[in-house]
């Protein structure tokens, strides 16, 4: 039972930089949104919820297959991954009514990856390391790779590949997890390898070799563009031009599953993992050897650990669900790590997948409770909660907001709530 729950949770953790100009301001084209920070730029949304919650605008069932992956939205389409008849599929739906447009097989197993859309292409990763680039209109495969066959890839543990690919200009960045190709950069049009970023010689003993369950983010710390990723052995940084390893941090690694996507601000990187590990703030600096990651502080697990569900960095404060297999609402000051407030258990049970829009946090608890919490360090302010219309087991997929609508995937169902302010 534990392994089933863990495999499911990895999903949601599992991809941006500069996306094509064809995307509208309301699109959500990649994991945690256009900037991979979990924050939507939309305004004019409800600031309070009644006990019944926002209006359920529409719901479709038996369209997405099994899976806990979140969805992405671009150019009038919804993209998701799901297991259908025992095979993983990348699936496209109409944003208007949820009608299925096409479905393309992507290997086997229940998927963990959230797809990434860039212009006329959509990129997705199957649980077993099958990677595809597909046409957004037809679902036709334009090119594909195998993380194991092409790069000797491996996972740190047995719940399958979970990251969401990063598109940065003409480059696609992903994490096969092998010793000579921990992270790779590919030509997004052809799939040809640009560089392979190896595991550095000195990495520390915590954790396990291989890819973790996080997704790559971009940092420009000290003026050096770099790709930062949480892996089985902790956090690593690679030069964006060459793939040369720049720095690493091992203390944040655990040996079971390293999941949350790191947070980036200036020369700082904030990271956290569960399984009794904790959280840390790093400051990147130049040295004679290149770049170094100095630990500003480390928080023990009792003070903060984000098992999964993600973290939000907003106005110099970190918001998240705290605790292993828990989503206790928590706000800490980024600079010091001091607790600004704790919301106790909150209105729901279990872990919490979160995002932010219009000054509020959207907490989705694994028991199917949705909560609206004001994003302020002043105090914990719950602005309403309600029970989702569909709860098929663990309610883990991350929330998505597009054009004033709240999208919530639940296994093979998709719910769409109207959250426009009246």
In tens, the pLDDT along 194-223 reads 999 999 988 999 999 999 999 999 999 999
Query: Residue 135: its pLDDT value, please?
Result: 98
Q: What is the pLDDT of residue 288?
A: 92
The 3-state secondary structure of the chain, one letter per residue: CHHHHHHHHHHCCCCCCCCCCCCCCCCECCCCCCCCCCEECCCCECCCCCCCCCEEEEEECCCCCECCCCCEEECCEEEEEEEECCEEEEEEEECCCCCEEEEEEEEECCCCCCCEEECCEEEEECCCCEEEEEECCCCCEEEEEEHHHHHCCCECCCCCCCCCCEEECCEEEECCCCCCCCEEEEECCCCCEEEEECCCCCCCCCCCCCECCCCCEEECHHHCCEEEEEECCEEEEEECCCCCEEEEECCCCCCCCCCCCCEEECCEEEEEECCCCEEEEEEEEEECCEEEEEEEEEEECCCCCECCCCEEEECCEEEEEEECCCCEEEEEECCCCCEEEECCCCCCCCCEEEEEECCEEEEEECCCEEEEEECCCCCCCEEEEEECCCCCCCCCCCCEEECCEEEEEECCEEEEEECECC
CA distance 99 to 91: 11
Q: Is-contact 144 125, C-beta < 8 A?
A: no
Location of structure tokens 């729950």: 5
The C-alpha atoms of residue 250 and residue 205 are separated, in whole angstroms, by: 7
Tokens of 413: 């169902």
Contact 125, 113 (CB under 8 A): yes
- Report which of 411, 380, 420, 371 is spatially closest to residue 393, judged by C-alpha positions: 411
pLDDT given for residue 25 in this prediction: 62
Domains, the chain, with CATH or none: 2-418 (2.130.10.10)
Q: Using one digit for the tens of pLDDT, what is the confidence trace for 138-170?
A: 999 999 999 999 999 999 999 999 999 999 999
Using the predicted structure, report yes or no on whether residue 11 has a pLDDT greater than 80.
no
Q: Give the whole-angstrom CA distance, residue 185 versus residue 174.
A: 7
Going by C-alpha positions, the residue among 50, 68, 56 that lies closest to residue 13 is 68
Residue 422: band (very low, low, confident or very high) from pLDDT cuts 50, 70, 90: confident
β pairing state of 400-402 and 382-387: unpaired
Computed over every residue of the chain, the mean pLDDT equals 94
Question: Are the beta carbons of 268 and 284 closer than 8 angstroms?
Answer: yes
The answer on pLDDT for 18 being more than 80 is no
Between the alpha carbon of residue 44 and those of residues 100, 158, 363, the distances in Å are: 30, 43, 19
pLDDT of residue 24: 60
Per-residue pLDDT at 289: 87
C-beta atoms surrounding 223 within 10 Å: 7
Question: Tokens for 79?
Answer: 């993209």
Q: What is the pLDDT of residues 254-302, one digit of tens each?
A: 999 999 999 999 999 999 999 999 999 999 999 998 999 999 999 999 9
pLDDT at 6: 43
Instruction: Give tens-digit pLDDT for 345-397.
Output: 999 999 999 999 999 999 999 999 999 999 999 999 999 999 999 999 999 99
CA dist., res. 92 & res. 63, Å (int): 10
């Amino acid at each position: 039972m534990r392994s089933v729950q863990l495999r499911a949770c990895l999903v949601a953790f599992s991809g941006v930089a500069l996306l094509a100009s064809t995307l509208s301001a309301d699109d959500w084209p990649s994991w945690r949104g256009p900037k991979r920070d979990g924050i939507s730029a939309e305004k004019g949304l409800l600031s309070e919820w009644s006990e019944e919650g926002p209006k359920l605008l529409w719901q479709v069932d038996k369209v997405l297959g099994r899976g806990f992956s979140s969805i992405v939205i671009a150019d009038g389409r919804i993209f998701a991954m799901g297991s259908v008849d025992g095979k993983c599929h990348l699936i496209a739906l109409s944003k208007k009514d949820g009608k299925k447009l096409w479905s393309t097989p992507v290997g086997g197993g229940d998927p963990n990856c959230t797809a990434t859309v860039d212009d006329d292409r959509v990129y997705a990763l199957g649980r077993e390391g099958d990677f595809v680039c597909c046409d957004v209109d037809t679902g036709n495969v334009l090119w594909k790779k195998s993380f194991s066959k092409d790069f000797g890839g491996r996972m740190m543990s047995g719940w399958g590949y979970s990251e969401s690919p990063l598109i940065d200009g003409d480059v696609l960045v992903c994490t096969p997890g092998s010793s000579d190709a921990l992270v790779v950069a590919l030509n997004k049009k052809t799939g040809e390898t640009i560089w392979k970023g190896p595991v550095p010689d000195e990495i520390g003993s915590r954790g396990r070799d291989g890819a973790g369950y996080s997704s790559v983010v971009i940092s420009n710390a000290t003026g050096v563009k770099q790709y930062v990723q949480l892996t089985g052995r902790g956090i690593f940084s690679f030069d964006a031009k060459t793939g040369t390893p720049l720095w690493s941090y091992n203390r944040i690694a655990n040996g079971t599953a390293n999941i949350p996507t790191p947070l980036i601000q200036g020369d700082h990187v904030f990271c956290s993992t569960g399984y009794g590990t904790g959280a840390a703030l790093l400051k990147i600096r130049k040295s004679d050897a290149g770049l170094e990651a100095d630990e500003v502080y480390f928080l023990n697990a009792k003070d903060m650990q984000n098992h999964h569900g993600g973290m939000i960095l907003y106005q110099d404060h970190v918001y998240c669900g705290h605790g292993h297999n828990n989503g206790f609402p928590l706000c800490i000051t980024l600079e010091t790590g001091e607790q600004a407030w704790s919301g106790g258990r909150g209105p729901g049970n279990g872990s919490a997948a979160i995002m932010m829009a219009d000054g509020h946090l959207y907490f989705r608890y694994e028991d199917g409770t949705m909560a609206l919490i004001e994003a302020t360090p002043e105090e914990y302010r719950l602005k309403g909660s309600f029970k989702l219309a569909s709860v098929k087991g663990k309610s883990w997929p991350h929330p998505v907001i597009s054009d004033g609508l709240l999208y919530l995937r639940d296994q093979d169902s998709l719910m769409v709530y109207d959250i426009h302010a009246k």
